[in-house]
Every structure is written in structure tokens, then in C-alpha cells.
Structure 1
Amino acid sequence: MKLSDHKACQRFWQSSSGKIGLGLAIAILLVALLAPILNPYDPSTDRNYAARLQPPSIQHWFGTDGLGRDLLDLVWYGLRTSLVISLVSVGLGLLVGLLLGLVAGYFRGWLETIIGWLTDILLAFPSILLAIAIVTVTGPSIKSVMIAVGVVQIPVFIRLTRSMVLSFREQDFIQSVHVLGATPGRIIFRHILPASLPPLVVQATLDLGTATLEAAGLGFLGLGAQPPTPELGTMLSDAFKGGYSLSSPWTILFPGLLITLTVLAFNLLGDGLRDALDPRSSL
């Protein structure tokens, strides 16, 4: 199924989950992109201790946190940080997993064995524990979280890409171009890879939601973005560590709501794309 197939577009627009997910994803991306324009914010200086822990009001729509910072500003910029982490980590996992999966599926032999061992080793650990171990070794930072969450995504894309390559490499159109003298590189990147893109796009979209949760989890544990950089998981952690999550519930409500909406948006969008690009999955 091609990404440009008109029937696939029609099926997507007939999918309620796909349309809702797309609308939510666009809204979330616009909020994150326009945050610096709508309200410039300096997390190191924009604080007012006299206004700390104020409930939602006309002046502060989402209330304020323990340092007197406007929670709406923090949520906007925290969402921006979380999205950057998710997009970069999934892109890293997709790139590395795609290349290794193509090599393992097409060339087989000892290369497939070694890549298979690597995949099994990565899958042997629960994803969040593997991410925690990587961040612990590399040190808490946004860059470390990107690497850790990206590494967790790699085996998923290796297995998916390898299975797609194995299904295509024996088909008649691949055998035909091979007989005509096409090089392995041309066969892989001009014929096999384009045919494998739809399921990879679906998986990457779904993994954006997973990456958002994992990044928030690392931030909650204090292993993600470090102060004063705002990040949704770190904001939840600050509220719990400060001991005002119950007395000032808005400090956890709005960051948690943005995490939930982000994960929901990418999951619904991924379901819509899966139904559109692979109609058999909805049967």
C-alpha cells in the first residue's frame, strides 16, 4: 500500500479515531511551536514568590506553581520540551532500526544473526528499566533522555523492518529487478524500502505516544530535563516532591492532562493511519 494512495486517504478521513488524533496532534504541535511567540518566557527569571501556589484565575489560567511561576507558561514550554524529546528519540530509533533491519532481512547470514542477538538483548530488559540504566550511565539531561528512549525504540523497528524485507525480497518484482542486474543498494532503497514505509510510519506514530510517556517517566524520576528547563514529567515530580500535589491539585492536573492528550493524540492518529494504510487490520 502506497502512502500516496487516494483510497488510503479516503479510508483515513472515514476513520473517526484518525481524524480526532490528527486534530489533537495538530493542536498540540501548534501550541508547542507558537509558545515563544504567544508568550515569551525565561524559566530562570520568570518567578514570583509572592504569587506561589495560587489557584486558577483570570490572571493565571492554570494557577501558579511552588515558585510562583505561571503554570500555563510552564505547561506550554514543558510540552515543547517533551515533544522535542519524543520526535528526536523516535527518529533515532527509526533510523537505526530501519538500517539494521534492512541489512538483516536482505543479506541474512551472520549479519542477521548478530543483529538478532542485539535485538534480543535489548528486548530482554523492560523498556523503562533500560532507559533508566542508560540515563544513569550518561547522566541526567535532555540529550541523555533522547538517546535512552531512542535506544529503547530500536529493536521494535529492527523486527518490523526485517519482517517486511523478508516478505518482499522473494516476490516476483524484486526477483525481476535482481535478474536485470540491479545492485543490492538499488533494490533495497528503490524497491523494498518504499514498499515497507506504510507500516513503519504507523509504528513511528504510535511510538511517539510511548516515547512521550517514557520521557515523562524519566523526568518524574529526576533523570530528564534539569531545572530550570520546564518539562511535563519534571513538573509532576516537583509538585510531588514539594508536598503540595494534594493541597494545590492544579500543579499536577494540567501537566498530567497534557501528557494524556499527547499520548492519546498519537495513539488515535496511529490507529487511523493503520486502518487507512492496511485495510485488512480493520477486518
Structure 2
Amino acid sequence: MTAPVEVSGSDFEAHPEVVVKGMGKAIQGRSLWEIAWLRLRRDKVAVGGAFAIVALVVASIVGPWFLPDPNVFNQDMIDTSMLRPKEGWLHSGMSWDHLLGVEPTTGRDLLARILIGTRVSLLVSIAATLLSVAIGVVMGGFAGYFGGWVDTVVSRFMDALLAFPLLLFAIALIGILPRQMWGLEGNGLKITVLVFIIGFFYCPYVGRIVRGQTLSLREREFVDAARALGASHTHIFFKEVLPNLFAPIIVYATLLIPTNILFEASLSFLGVGVNAPLPSLGLMLNEAVALNAYENAPLYMVFPGLTIFLAVLAFNLLGDGLRDALDPRSR
């Protein structure tokens, strides 16, 4: 048995080559939002949906500046007897000047009109979603926080909105709009009314989610602590309850946007959307059906429909990814 070796204090210092890299730094914790961001970045499908949304938004805003004027008619490219372009793949009129071809009756550039129609659809759907979220948070938050007769009145009001025949009401209301109202006219007035109708009647979907979450949050310990400290109802709701509602609100808003895109396209398809010459994806599909484009110029029907499909799919993929990132238990 060997005798113990006495070692000086300096000999206990570890050599540089055996020190684990980074151990000398203080360990920093991550917030819940940082953890959610890391989860979202690992979800390649959701990231792909986010990139598709950004590409659609940028292309719809910037793209028409670099394309032919969407209101210029090119009748020389149209075979008037067949109501289709004379040249191009599948009689689409595709060329280097018109990348997706031209419309079968007017010869207007199809890509430029699709991008402007996408801009209109995104504007209406996003603005309507923001309005739905604002109204839904107020109604659902107050109903869930105060309870009692407030909850009863607000909940029955939301049930009445959910039972309302929205599509028929929108068709009837937009059909009888005057030429000028509230200082607006033409497509400006129609877009404003569309945003109000969609945003107001879709607010119960957000309101019911917020109400359910608020009913749970108001019984939590941090809310009881705020009450014990004498905090007012306003302070408790906006400082304690509302920040904990951000995650479900963001997720549901992302999933509500594609619903609004489809609703706006449906109204335009039925002829009660924006007025010509402003393009609309739904109106293009309506014209394609009326012209039997699936026989004469099928791509005139494919490209607007594909744009709606990609926009809805991208928002749904991003919404699913946000739901998984902000609430891993939902997997």
C-alpha cells in the first residue's frame, strides 16, 4: 500500500486540455417564448409554410411592378372564335413576356392579375382576422373573467352569431350596397364591408376559445395573489390573464386566416366580391367556369385555383406548427 501523496493547492488546478469548453460560463435559462421558437424552427413543414406565406406576400406587393400592366388588353393574342389564346402551351399564351399566359378573352397578363388578386385576398382575410381577434378577445375575456350574468349574455350572443346564415347575409348586404357610403365608394367600400362582415361574424370562434382559457386562468394562483395584493380587475385582466392568452390567440388566428381566404374567394366566385377591373381569384374561377376554360384554356382555371390552394395550405401548415410549438401537449 503506497503512502498518500501530498499535493499543493496549485496542483489541484485542472489542465486546460481537460476543461470542458463552455463550463466556465454561467448557465442561462430560456423563456417559454424562446423554447417555442426553438421548437418551431425544428419543424421544417411549418417553416416551409412560413416561407411560402412570406413569398406570397412579397410577390403580391412587389411582383406587379415588374410585370406587364394587368389592365392592358392584348386582343391580337386571342382567337376570338375559340375564346382562347392563339399560342402557348395548352393555349395559355405563355411567353417570356407573359410567364403564365394571358386571359382567354381579354389578353391581359394572367400572372400580374393573379398577384393583385392574391393581394386583395390576403388584405381582406388578414384584416378580417385581426378584427375577429380584437372583438373575440374582448367578448370572450370579459365573459370568462366576470362570469355570472355577463358570461350568460355574451355566450348567448356568440351562439346567435354562430347560428346566423353568414353567406346569405353577406350576399344580400353586399348586393344592396349604395355606390357611396362612409366617404368610401367602389372597391374601397366593398373591401371595407367584406372585412367588417367576416371579422364580426367570425369573432365567436375566437371568443369561445378565449372564454374557455380565461375560465381556467382566473382560478390560478398568480391571479389569486394579484387579488390579495389589491390589484384591480383591469390590472388583473390585462397584466395577468391576457399575456397568458397570447399563445392560443396566435395559433387560432393563423388557422382562421385560410378560412377567411376561402370565404372571400367564395363571395367573389358568386359575383358579390370586388368589382372589375380589380382582379380577384374567385372571380377568375367564375369566369373560367363560364367560358368552359377547362376545355379551351385549362390553365386559366388551374393557376388561380392553385394560388388559393397554396395560400390556404401554407397558413394551415404554419398554424399546425405554431400549435405544436406553443403547446407540446397537443401532439
What TM-score does the superposition give when structure 2 sets the normalisation length? 0.79
What secondary structure does 1:177 align onto? helix
Give the counterpart letter for 2:272 in structure 1: L
- Identify the residue that residue 209 of structure 2 maps to in structure 1: 160
- The Cα shift of 1:152 comes to 3.1
> Which of 10, 25, 29 is 2:53 aligned to?
25
Q: Is the 2:270–2:286 contact (alpha carbons within 8 Å) kept by the matching residues of 1? A: yes
Q: Is the 1:3–1:198 contact (alpha carbons within 8 Å) kept by the matching residues of 2? A: no
- Identify the residue that residue 48 of structure 1 maps to in structure 2: 74
> Which of 267, 273, 281 is 1:218 aligned to?
267
Distance 1:133 1:195 in 2: 39
Cα separation, partners in 2 of 1:138 and 1:275, compared to 1, 3 Å: farther
- The Cα shift of 1:42 comes to 5.6
When structure 1 is superposed on structure 2, of 104-113 and 251-260 the one drifting more is: 104-113
| Higher relative helix content | 1
> Which of 83, 91, 99 is 1:61 aligned to?
99
- The Cα shift of 1:37 comes to 3.3
Distance 1:80 1:204 in 2: 19
> Which of 164, 169, 178 is 2:218 aligned to?
169
- Identify the residue that residue 288 of structure 2 maps to in structure 1: 239
Matches within 5 A, 1:1-283: 5-39=33-67, 41=69, 43=71, 46-52=72-78, 53-54=84-85, 55=92, 56-65=94-103, 66-125=105-164, 128-129=167-168, 131-136=170-175, 138=177, 141-282=190-331
- Identify the residue that residue 19 of structure 2 maps to in structure 1: none
When structure 1 is superposed on structure 2, of 127-136 and 96-105 the one drifting more is: 127-136
- The Cα shift of 1:131 comes to 4.0
Runs of at least 4 residues off by over 6 Å = none
- The Cα shift of 1:102 comes to 1.1
Distance 2:248 2:173 in 1: 28
- The Cα shift of 1:109 comes to 2.2
Q: Percent identity?
A: 37
Distance 2:279 2:170 in 1: 20
Flag structure 2 segments of 5+ consecutive residues without an equivalent: 1-29, 79-83, 86-91, 179-186
Give the counterpart letter for 1:17 in structure 2: V
Cα separation, partners in 2 of 1:137 and 1:98, compared to 1, 3 Å: farther
- The Cα shift of 1:127 comes to 5.1
Give the counterpart letter for 1:58 in structure 2: W
Give the counterpart letter for 1:59 in structure 2: D
Q: Is the 1:130–1:152 contact (alpha carbons within 8 Å) kept by the matching residues of 2? A: no
Distance 1:130 1:280 in 2: 39
- The Cα shift of 1:205 comes to 0.4
Q: Is the 1:41–1:73 contact (alpha carbons within 8 Å) kept by the matching residues of 2? A: yes
Distance 1:116 1:26 in 2: 36
What TM-score does the superposition give when structure 1 sets the normalisation length? 0.92
Distance 1:67 1:137 in 2: 29
Q: Is the 2:69–2:109 contact (alpha carbons within 8 Å) kept by the matching residues of 1? A: no
Cα separation, partners in 2 of 1:231 and 1:122, compared to 1, 3 Å: same
Q: Is the 2:293–2:301 contact (alpha carbons within 8 Å) kept by the matching residues of 1? A: no
Q: Deviations over 1:141-187 (max 9, x none)?
A: 22222222212321101101111111100111001111111111111
The number of aligned residues is 279
Distance 1:135 1:218 in 2: 10
Q: Is the 1:134–1:148 contact (alpha carbons within 8 Å) kept by the matching residues of 2? A: no
Distance 1:252 1:113 in 2: 48
What secondary structure does 1:5 align onto? helix
What secondary structure does 2:138 align onto? helix
Structure showing greater relative contact order (alpha-carbon pairs closer than 8 Å, 6 or more residues apart) = 1
Larger gyration radius, structure 1 or structure 2: 2
Cα separation, partners in 2 of 1:35 and 1:186, compared to 1, 3 Å: same
